[in-house]
Amino acid sequence: MSIQRSSGILLHITSLPSRFGIGDLGPEAKRFVDFLARSGQSWWQILPLNPTSSVHGNSPYSSSSAYAGNTLLISPEEMLYSGLLEDQDLDCLPSMPLGRADYDQAESLRASLLLKAFALLDSRPEIRESFFGFCARQAHWLHDYALFMALKQSFQNRPWYQWPEQLRRRDPQALGEYSLSLRPEMDLIRFGQYIFFTQWTTLRRYCQDHGVQLIGDIPIYVNEDSADVWAHPHVFKLDENLRPRVLAGVPPDYFSATGQLWGNPVYDWEQLRADGFSWWLNRIRHNTEMFDLVRLDHFRGFVGCWEVPAGETTAVNGSWVDVPARDFLRAVADNHTPLPLIAEDLGTITDDVRTVMREFGLPGMKILLFAFGPDLPTNPYAPHNHERKCVVYTGTHDNNTVRGWFEQEADQETRARLEAYLGVECKADNIALKMVRLTMQSVADLAIFPLQDLLGMDAGARMNMPGVANGHWTWRLQSGILTNTLAENLLTLTALYGRTSQHP
């Protein structure tokens, strides 16, 4: 889609206020949309909505499915409003933290509430009919996902590659027998997905009604222990035992002498090309039905991927393997014109990647926190070097907050360059808003900033630290902080730099 000059806020659903252990798709999500509309913001960017797991540190970038929704984000209040729960179901709930996400309690609560609501299905024929319709429309991924999750429960949560041979290799007779014996468990899993996507559709419609567009996020790789690899092994480079022959990662660079070994299975792009990239086209279609724009994580991997032989403990001994990027993007463009994609092009990006982005008109990302090194005059992240067709951020979910960066990471020389660039004295209590203003001033068509930076929060509000497995993704907004005064001030700033048609 064509992006007009505009701006928006990055805030994941889990970070919304809620008394149910984690931010969700309920009333507070709509209140945030109200705030976006009042403040002249056109975009709400979120992180992936797929299921998360404590095994993977609750990271939204590590999931059991590329299609399923995270049922932890289901709103108990919306279930109540729709008649799936009764008032007493939400009374006397255990006390849950308000400032941090508690994934374990959130999961336990949603599981019990979904079970109660599922028990009412037979007495609610209109919901039952809607549920069956959803299952039929989403059958291309939902049946495999429901069976996958039911089988994991049946086999004490062991990964699929440790299941009995006939299930590992998806013997049709075995799949049929287990689908029958696990039907109740599968229906409950399907029902959770039905509730998630029903609530998401309601929230998406609310955004549309208030002039707010949504930016989603597609992680490039999927987990080995996922419904996707189990159901579509031919899409990945697996050996005769259905285990990865090579693993995904990135090579050694300035930041890591041994590179990064992510451990995900790598796509067999030749096989994907042979069947018209159908797996990827279905995945992108699924996301573009949910969002107005989609960020393609690690876009560099769509042009050439770093493959590390299985068994290696670091990424040092990997090699670059070409990916048929043009054929793939042409196939996407046949279904989406213009391409509704943002290329996450951070890190070391080579000329071949830039060329593909230009050919297909894909906007990249500019991060202000990366702009103020010794190479400031020529640094591509510095605002005077931006081009219109890009998205400028103060920082992303992987960065410290602006204030946290200023207080903990920016050295004296970096601060001096920043002050010289801005022409004013920079302090911890004013730097975040000055950087937000700098994103607004950029020639970039789209400016996005994490809510933490609008609020001037320190490192305690950081969302994630790459390379650290646990203890992240827990920051949450407190109720009452998004005041009318804050909205009015942001609207004034947004209008001043021509990013909204409204006027203060």
DSSP 280-349: HHHHHHHHHHH-SEEEETTGGGGTEEEEEETT-SSSTT-EEEE--HHHHHHHHHTTSSS--EEE---SS-
Lowest mean pLDDT of 118-122, 162-166, 438-442, 457-461, name the range. 118-122
Measured CA to CA, the distance from residue 446 to residue 393 in angstroms comes to 9
Is residue 25 in a domain? yes
Q: How many CA atoms lie within 13 A of 333 on its CB side?
A: 11
Which of 225, 297, 453, 458 is labelled catalytic? 297
Is residue 244 in a domain? yes
> Does one domain contain both 2 and 135?
yes
> Does one domain contain both 109 and 45?
yes
Between 364 and 122, the more confident residue is 364
Which of 187, 398, 419, 488 is labelled catalytic? 398
> Does one domain contain both 197 and 88?
yes
Q: What is the C-alpha radius of gyration for the chain, rounded to an integer number of angstroms?
A: 23
pLDDT in tens, 85-111: 999 999 888 888 888 999 999 999 999
Burial of 195 (0-12, 13-18, 19+ CB in 10 A): buried
**DSSP-assigned letters across all residues of 178-212:** HHHHTHHHHHHHHHHHHHHHHHHHHHHHHHHHTT-
Average pLDDT over residues 318-324: 97
> Does one domain contain both 265 and 341?
yes
pLDDT in tens, 352-369: 999 999 999 999 999 999
Phi, psi for residue 140 in degrees, rounded to 5: -65, -20
Which of 102, 224, 344, 453 is labelled catalytic? 344
Report strand pairing: 6-10 vs 43-45: parallel
> Does one domain contain both 123 and 36?
yes
3-state secondary structure at position 67: coil
pTM of the model: 0.97
Is residue 257 in a domain? yes
Tell me, yes or no, if 228 is annotated catalytic: no
> Does one domain contain both 325 and 377?
no
Is residue 22 in a domain? yes
pLDDT of 149: 98
Measured CA to CA, the distance from residue 169 to residue 231 in angstroms comes to 9
Q: How many Å separate Cα 356 from the centre of its chain?
A: 23
> Does one domain contain both 250 and 284?
yes
> Does one domain contain both 50 and 186?
yes
Contact present, 419 and 425 (Cβ < 8 Å): yes
> Does one domain contain both 237 and 263?
yes
DSSP letter, residue 236:
B
Tell me, yes or no, if 107 is annotated catalytic: no
Residue 291's domain comprises 232-362
pLDDT in tens, 225-241: 999 999 999 999 999 99
Contact present, 307 and 240 (Cβ < 8 Å): no
Is residue 487 in a domain? no
Average pLDDT over residues 287-313: 97
> Does one domain contain both 180 and 270?
no
Measured CA to CA, the distance from residue 91 to residue 20 in angstroms comes to 12
Is residue 492 in a domain? no
Measured CA to CA, the distance from residue 493 to residue 52 in angstroms comes to 36
Last residue of a domain, one of 215, 240, 256: 215
Is residue 482 in a domain? no
Last residue of a domain, one of 347, 362, 377: 362
Last residue of a domain, one of 331, 362, 393: 362
Tell me, yes or no, if 398 is annotated catalytic: yes
> Does one domain contain both 324 and 402?
no
pLDDT in tens, 58-91: 999 999 999 999 999 999 999 999 999 999 999 8
Measured CA to CA, the distance from residue 504 to residue 490 in angstroms comes to 9
Contact present, 21 and 96 (Cβ < 8 Å): yes
Q: How many CA atoms lie within 13 A of 314 on its CB side?
A: 9
> Does one domain contain both 341 and 380?
no
Is residue 444 in a domain? yes
- The answer to whether the bond into 338 is cis (omega within 30° of 0) is yes
The number of domains in the chain is 3
pLDDT of 504: 38
